[in-house]
C-alpha cells in the first residue's frame, strides 16, 4: 500500500509541472512519469481510473507542446500508459486522439503517431493461441473507436443534429488524403488482423480502395494505400477475396477507366500477388488478361 501511495503522490506532484513555463522542467517531469509507467510497481494503476484519466489528459495536452523534445517524450509515455489504464480510459484516449487527427490547428502527424504507438504497445493476439483477456480488451477498444473512425465519417460528439466528423482516411478539402492515417490502419491490421471481423475488414478495404480509385491521390499516399491492401488481404475470407477480385475485374473492364486509374488497379493486383500469392492463385485466370493487356502483350478477352 505504501508503494501505491508514493507512486500516486509522485504522479500528482509531476502533473502540474507539465504546465510549467520552463520547457526543461516539463521534459524532466515527463521523463520521470515515463520511468514510473515503465516500472512494474505501477501496474495497480489499471484499477485507478481517476489517476490514469488525469495522466492521459496531461500527456495529450503535452502532445501540443511547442518544444519538440517535450512532445516526443509525451509520445513515449503514451505506450506504457496504454498498458496501465482501465478499458474505459483507453477508449477515451483513443477517442481524443482520433478527434485530434482532423484538427486544422495542430500538426496531425502527432496524434497519428500517438495512435500507432498505442496500437504497437497494446497486447496482440498470438498465432495458434486464444486471445487473452487483455488482448480482447485492447481489440474491443480499437474496434469501438479506431476502426469506425478509420473506415468513414462518424457522428459528432458535439450533439448537433446531423453533424459528422470526417473519417481519418477521407480526403480533407485543404490537406488531401493522410498517409499518416493509412499507416495507423496498417498497424491496426498488422497487430490485430486475426481478430478483425469480416465487416471491419470490408469497410477498411473500401476506404483504402476509395483512395486508390482517386487519380489525384498522389504518389506517396497511393503507395501507402497499396501497402494497406497488402496487409488487409492476408485476413480476407475466401468469399471476401472473391468479391474483391470481382470488383477489380468490373473496374478494369469499364470503358471509362482512366490510364492512371488502370495503373493503380494493376498495382493492386501486383501488391496482392506479392502479399498473398497462394490466396490469389485461383483468381489469376480472371486477372491475368488485364495485366497482359496493360503490358501490351494481349488484348482483354482474346
Does a structural domain hold residue 227? no
Cα separations in angstroms, 288 against 40, 270, 294, 298: 55, 11, 10, 10
Total domains in the chain come to: 3
- pLDDT of 79-120, one tens digit each? 999 999 999 999 999 999 999 998 877 788 999 999 999 999
Do residues 105 and 196 both lie within one domain?
yes
Does a structural domain hold residue 288? yes
Does a structural domain hold residue 48? yes
> Which of 188, 195, 279, 266 is CA-nearest to residue 234?
279
Alpha-carbon dihedral sign for residues 45, 157, 66, 122:
positive
Q: Give the Cα separation of 55 and 80 in Å (integer).
A: 12
Cβ-based neighbour number of residue 73 at 10 Å? 21
Task: pLDDT band for 1, please (50, 70, 90 cuts).
Answer: very low
- pLDDT of 269-302, one tens digit each? 999 999 999 998 899 899 988 888 877 644 444 4
Residue 151, pLDDT above cutoff 50? yes
Q: Give the Cα separation of 172 and 169 in Å (integer).
A: 9
pTM score, whole prediction: 0.90
**Domain containing 60: what range?**
1-85
Do residues 203 and 92 both lie within one domain?
yes
Amino acid at each position: 500500500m505504501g508503494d501505491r501511495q508514493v507512486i500516486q503522490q509522485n504522479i500528482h506532484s509531476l502533473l502540474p509541472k507539465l504546465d510549467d513555463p520552463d520547457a526543461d522542467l516539463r521534459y524532466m517531469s515527463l521523463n520521470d512519469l515515463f520511468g514510473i509507467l515503465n516500472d512494474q510497481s505501477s501496474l495497480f494503476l489499471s484499477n485507478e481510473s481517476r489517476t490514469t484519466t488525469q495522466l492521459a489528459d496531461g500527456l495529450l495536452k503535452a502532445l501540443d507542446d511547442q518544444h519538440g523534445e517535450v512532445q516526443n517524450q509525451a509520445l513515449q509515455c503514451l505506450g506504457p500508459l496504454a498498458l496501465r489504464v482501465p478499458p474505459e480510459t483507453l477508449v477515451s484516449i483513443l477517442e481524443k486522439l482520433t478527434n485530434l487527427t482532423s484538427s486544422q490547428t495542430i500538426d496531425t502527424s502527432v496524434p497519428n503517431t500517438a495512435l500507432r504507438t498505442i496500437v504497437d504497445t497494446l497486447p496482440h493476439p498470438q498465432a495458434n493461441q486464444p486471445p487473452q483477456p487483455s488482448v480482447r480488451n485492447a481489440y474491443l477498444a480499437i474496434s469501438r473507436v479506431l476502426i469506425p473512425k478509420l473506415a468513414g465519417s462518424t457522428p459528432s460528439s458535439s450533439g448537433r443534429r446531423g453533424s459528422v466528423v470526417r473519417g481519418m482516411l477521407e480526403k480533407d478539402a485543404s490537406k488531401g488524403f493522410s498517409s499518416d492515417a493509412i499507416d495507423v490502419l496498417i498497424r491496426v491490421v498488422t497487430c490485430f488482423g486475426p481478430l478483425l471481423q469480416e465487416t471491419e475488414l470490408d469497410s477498411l478495404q473500401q476506404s483504402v480502395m476509395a483512395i486508390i480509385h482517386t487519380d489525384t491521390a498522389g504518389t506517396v499516399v497511393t503507395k501507402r494505400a497499396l501497402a494497406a491492401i497488402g496487409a488487409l488481404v492476408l485476413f480476407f475470407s475466401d468469399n471476401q477475396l472473391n468479391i474483391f477480385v470481382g470488383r477489380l475485374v468490373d473496374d478494369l473492364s469499364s470503358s471509362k477507366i482512366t490510364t492512371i486509374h488502370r495503373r493503380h488497379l494493376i498495382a493492386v493486383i501486383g501488391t496482392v500477388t506479392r502479399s498473398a500469392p497462394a490466396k490469389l492463385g485461383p483468381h489469376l485466370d480472371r486477372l491475368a488478361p488485364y495485366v497482359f493487356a496493360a503490358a501490351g502483350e494481349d488484348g482483354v478477352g482474346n
